[in-house]
Amino acid sequence: MIMRYTLILAALVAAASPALADGWAPKITDPLVQKECGSCHMAFQPAFLPARSWDRMMNELDNHFGEDATLSADKVSAIRAYLMANAGDVKQQGVARKYMRWVAPDGTPQSITENPAFLRKHRFPDRVWQDPKVVTKSNCLACHTQADIGNYDDD
Amino acid sequence: MIRKLSILAVIAVIAAPSLSWAGDPARDSILADYAAQAGKADAAFSTFSVKRGETLFRTKWASGDPRTPSCTSCHTDNPRNTGQNAKTGRPIDPVAVSVNASRFTNRDDVEKQFGRDCKSVLGRACTALEKGDYITFMAGQ
């Protein structure tokens, strides 16, 4: 009897734990990636895109969503290696399982915010998006206060 | 012993204020490089100007990205404040050296940031004179 309660309790704790729910992404552990990818926006966890998307993005930094985000060649190659090794289709953990489902087999999507897995969780009236603290849909931290460490379960 | 301690005390008293006045050696070296470049571009160059730096900071250029007409678009009117990236919404640490002592101490970062921000705000690269003026203004803020 006590055993059964213990199991139920353990199951409840597991369900409430962000690490076991699906709204998380493995956090970035590389200081260079954290610094350079996080210098204008929050550094997005590599789990949100497949490796071939990151590869393409690192080739097109001169026009990075309209911005010149060029870096020295040695930094580009170190960052590329980390992002590709930890990409959603490689690690398949947390959010990756949902996000990778929507990526075409040879697709190289660049905008995480256009993934249907993102869209179906973010159906808000315009006034929410127009809040001055939001600025843009890719500003995860405006609402998910721990997004920078990969926790998106506070919705 | 007491004599030794009092000498140390005297040194401390003399050194403390001068330390707080002295610029960071890395920042000074970056400024010296910009000064050399500015001198090469214009033989009449003498020193960087706080006033020109402040004007650069506050001018509405209208020649770059419409979201960032001015440095103040992201850094606010007061460089001692935390700013916000006008394109991404990300908070930006203050630019004023008095509240953020590590500003303008890493040459690569300084060049990278001027490269990106001048393009965005002015629609062109900044000159060495402008970079030096800007840092000089921020060093006094």
Query: A41: closest CA among A150, A130, A148?
Result: A148
What are A115-135's pLDDT values in tens digits? 999 999 999 999 999 999 999
What are A70-85's pLDDT values in tens digits? 999 999 999 999 999 9
For residue A38, which residues of chain B lie inside 8 Å, CB to CB? 90
Q: Which of A69, A71, A135 sits opposite B89 (nearest CB)?
A: A135
Task: Assess whether pLDDT exceeds 90 at residue A1.
Answer: no
Q: Given CB atoms, is B124 within the 8 Å cutoff of chain A?
A: no
Task: Assess whether pLDDT exceeds 90 at residue B51.
Answer: yes
Q: Which of A67, A69, A133 sits opposite B89 (nearest CB)?
A: A133
B86 CA to centre of own chain = 20
- What is residue A154's predicted lDDT score, i.e. its pLDDT? 81
Task: Assess whether pLDDT exceeds 90 at residue B12.
Answer: no
The stretch B91-120 carries a mean pLDDT of: 97
The stretch A77-103 carries a mean pLDDT of: 97
What are A42-63's pLDDT values in tens digits? 999 999 999 999 999 999 999 9
Q: How many other C-beta atoms lie within 10 A of the C-beta of residue B114?
A: 19
Q: Determine whether the interchain pair B90/A139 forms a contact, defined as Cβ–Cβ distance below 8 Å.
A: yes
Q: Which of A68, A134, A135 sits opposite B116 (nearest CB)?
A: A68
Which residue of A lies nearest to B120 if distances are taken between CA atoms? A67
Q: Determine whether the interchain pair A40/B88 forms a contact, defined as Cβ–Cβ distance below 8 Å.
A: yes
Task: Assess whether pLDDT exceeds 80 at residue A97.
Answer: yes
User: In Å, how far is B8's CA from the nearest CA of chain A?
Assistant: 41
CA atoms within 13 A on the CB side of B41: 11
Reported as a pLDDT band with limits 50, 70 and 90, residue B100 is very high
The stretch A133-141 carries a mean pLDDT of: 96
- Please report, for residues A82, B91, B113, B115, the alpha-carbon distance to residue A71 in angstroms, rounded to integers and kept in the order given: 15, 22, 11, 11
- What is residue B88's predicted lDDT score, i.e. its pLDDT? 97
- Could you say which residues from 46 to 85 on chain B have a Cβ atom under 8 Å away from some Cβ of chain A? 84-85
Reported as a pLDDT band with limits 50, 70 and 90, residue A7 is low
Q: How far apart are CA B129 and CA B33, in angstroms?
A: 11
The stretch B45-50 carries a mean pLDDT of: 98
Q: How far apart are CA A1 and CA B36, in angstroms?
A: 81
| Mean pLDDT of the residues in chain A | 90
Q: Cα Rg for chain B, rounded, in angstroms?
A: 18
- What is residue B19's predicted lDDT score, i.e. its pLDDT? 44
For testing the chain A interface, which of B84, B87, B95 should be mutated: the one with the most A CBs within 10 Å? B87
Reported as a pLDDT band with limits 50, 70 and 90, residue A19 is very low
3-state secondary structure of B138: helix
Q: Given CB atoms, is A34 within the 8 Å cutoff of chain B?
A: no
B71 CA to centre of own chain = 12
Q: Given CB atoms, is B107 within the 8 Å cutoff of chain A?
A: no
| Mean pLDDT of the residues in chain B | 90
- What is residue A35's predicted lDDT score, i.e. its pLDDT? 97
- What is residue B105's predicted lDDT score, i.e. its pLDDT? 98
For residue A135, which residues of chain B lie inside 8 Å, CB to CB? 84-89
Q: What percent of chain B has pLDDT over 90?
A: 83
Higher pLDDT, A148 or B17: A148
Task: Assess whether pLDDT exceeds 90 at residue A8.
Answer: no
Which residue of B lies nearest to A38 if distances are taken between CA atoms? B90
What are B68-86's pLDDT values in tens digits? 999 999 999 999 999 999 9
Reported as a pLDDT band with limits 50, 70 and 90, residue B9 is low
Higher pLDDT, A86 or B10: A86
The answer to whether the CB of A92 falls within 8 A of the CB of A100 is: yes
- Please report, for residues A68, A120, A134, B42, B64, the alpha-carbon distance to residue A143 in angstroms, rounded to integers and kept in the order given: 27, 16, 8, 50, 30
User: In Å, how far is A28's CA from the nearest CA of chain B?
Assistant: 17
- What is residue B16's predicted lDDT score, i.e. its pLDDT? 46
- What is residue B123's predicted lDDT score, i.e. its pLDDT? 97
Q: Determine whether the interchain pair A134/B116 forms a contact, defined as Cβ–Cβ distance below 8 Å.
A: no
The answer to whether the CB of A37 falls within 8 A of the CB of A79 is: yes
Q: Cα Rg for chain A, rounded, in angstroms?
A: 17
**Residue ranges with strand state E in chain B:** 83-84, 91-92
Q: How far apart are CA A37 and CA B17, in angstroms?
A: 39
Domains located in chain B, CATH noted: 24-139 (1.10.760.10)
